[in-house]
Amino acid sequence: MKTVVLQSNYLPWKGYFDLIHDADIFIYYDEVQYTKNDWRNRNRIYTKNGLQWLSIPIGNDAVKLKISEVKLPAGQWQQQHYKSLLLGYGKAPFFHQLKPLLEEVYINRQWSHLSELNCFLIETISSLLEIKTVFKHSADYILEGNRAERLVDLLKQAGATTYISGPSAKEYLAGKESLFIENKIQLMYKDYSGYPPYKQLGSPFENYVSIVDLLANIRLDEIKNYIWAWRK
């Protein structure tokens, strides 16, 4: 059972969905501490005017909370993000693929918690990309021990035989490889290199931007060729 355990991100980049596609089970790891200036509440878009951050304004006291506990602020941020995406991508060749999602998320709904919003976005976009991975939440498992022990125990509870991690986890898992071996879980690190470029609204090509960039610029049934299918 190939398993990914990862915090929910806001409008993640294509590599996040590459990880999801690799997995049989994807577990949102939102019962851990919220981190400021991270990908939980922000991401970047790329338009003819260049790179632009979309950031949800989260209060400073959120760092005392778990990601799942972080509440979203009242105010105009939903309308502002909708307007930024509409203005930025409205003339993109496949904006019609993206617009219904934007209207549902930013116009038709109100969100109380960051994790709720992120999970909805991630799962809806995964469905658009015809990804069949099963989504679960770390809140449904018993989480005990230190950082690495807690992760391995979660994987055991989920029935994982392979754990696929992003490359940034190598540092904190260094020296903990024996935990995976002892529990008969193969540890693999995702390689994000080699993604093929595609025509964007801006220039030069920018790799590390939100998945919405692909949704607006590439036909839906071809997006897989820029995330995972190109490896075949």
Is the pLDDT confidence value at 215 over 90?
A: yes
In this structure, what token pair is assigned to residue 87? Answer: 């203005």
> For 172, left (φ over 0), alpha (ψ -120 to 50), or beta?
alpha
| pTM for the structure as a whole | 0.97
The mean predicted confidence, pLDDT, of the chain is 96
Contact 40, 34 (CB under 8 A): yes
What pLDDT score does 145 carry?
Answer: 84
Dihedral of CA 26/22/52/200: which sign? negative
Structural domain spans, the chain:
2-231
d(CA 86, CA 11): 15
Contact 216, 41 (CB under 8 A): no
Supply the DSSP string of the chain, one letter for each residue. Answer: -EEEEE---SS-BHHHHHHHHH-SEEEE--SSB--TTSSSSEEEEEETTEEEEEE----GGGGGSBGGGPBPPSSSHHHHHHHHHHHHHTTSTTHHHHHHHHIIIIII---SBHHHHHHHHHHHHHHHTT--PEEEEGGGS---SSHHHHHHHHHHHHT-SEEEE-GGGHHHHTT-HHHHHHTT-EEEE---TTPPP---SSSS--SSSBTHHHHHHS-GGGGGGGTTGGG-
d(CA 64, CA 92): 40
d(CA 49, CA 187): 41
Is the pLDDT confidence value at 69 over 90?
A: yes
Strand 50-55, strand 42-47: pairing? antiparallel
What pLDDT score does 172 carry?
Answer: 83
d(CA 86, CA 103): 10
- Residues 102-132: tens digit of each pLDDT: 999 999 999 999 999 999 999 999 999 999 9
Percentage of the chain modeled with pLDDT above 90: 93
Is the pLDDT confidence value at 64 over 80?
A: yes
In this structure, what token pair is assigned to residue 47? Answer: 């338009």
Dihedral of CA 185/172/210/119: which sign? positive
Query: Would you call 45 exposed, middle or buried from its count of C-beta atoms within 10 A (0-12, 13-18, 19+)?
Result: buried
